[in-house]
Amino acid sequence: MEINSFEELVIKTKNGDKEAEKELYEKFRPFIINLCKKSFIDGYTFEDIYQECYLALSKAVKYYNVDKHRFFGYALTAIKNQVNYKIRRSVPEKESNCYVDNFEFVEQTTHDLVEDIILKADYDVLLKSLKNLDEKEQHLIRQCFFKNKSYRQYAKEVHLTYSQVMFIKRKALTKLQKQLLDNK
């Protein structure tokens, strides 16, 4: 794909040429399909995400400054940003307060699967499951999830590498997930 062909198609599309618009949309189709396959937005079907991508492409054409000569990158960024925006909007900002035995009081917001598991769990079951983790795993959960330390900070504090911390995290979360699912 030649970048100049995109520029020409955009100019023609802005001037009302429907054939150029179809051709431009067709050139972005493989990228859009690939992005739709990789994306999950709660409450959206593949076709919904597909339409959001084309709406973003349409907006990109409308607002593009033809003097810049960088439409391809501009359009890709606009499409990705639209999908990311929809993903962020689909994750509700749930706030929950939890007390877990010797774990401090925490106010959390959900941003990923791990936090969803912890927030959805019955806290009695969660407490029992946390007690079944070994000391390193409990300490990691306490510091990174309840005290909001970054994994890099935690690794530095306990004199481990980032990779080792991530291994402990995965192991602990796998144990927690298994125990929580067994108790349902």
Domain that holds residue 141: 96-182
String of b and e for 10-34 (b: at least 16 CB within 10 Å)?
bebbeeeeeebbeebbeebeebbee
Residues 85 and 122 in one domain: no
Residues 106 and 80 in one domain: no
Asked whether the predicted pLDDT for residue 110 surpasses 70, the reply is: no
Domain boundary among 45, 69, 90: 90
Residues 113 and 78 in one domain: no
Q: Reduced to 3 states, what is the DSSP secondary structure of residue 43?
A: coil
pLDDT tens profile 120-143 = 555 567 777 788 889 999 888 888
Supply the pTM of this predicted model.
Answer: 0.48
Q: Which CATH number goes with the domain that contains 80?
A: 1.10.1740
What domain count does the chain have? 2
Residues 107 and 162 in one domain: yes
More confident residue, 99 or 53: 53
Dihedral (CA of 34, 35, 40, 41) sign: negative
Asked whether the predicted pLDDT for residue 106 surpasses 80, the reply is: no
Q: Tell me, what's the pLDDT at 101?
A: 37
Asked whether the predicted pLDDT for residue 116 surpasses 70, the reply is: no
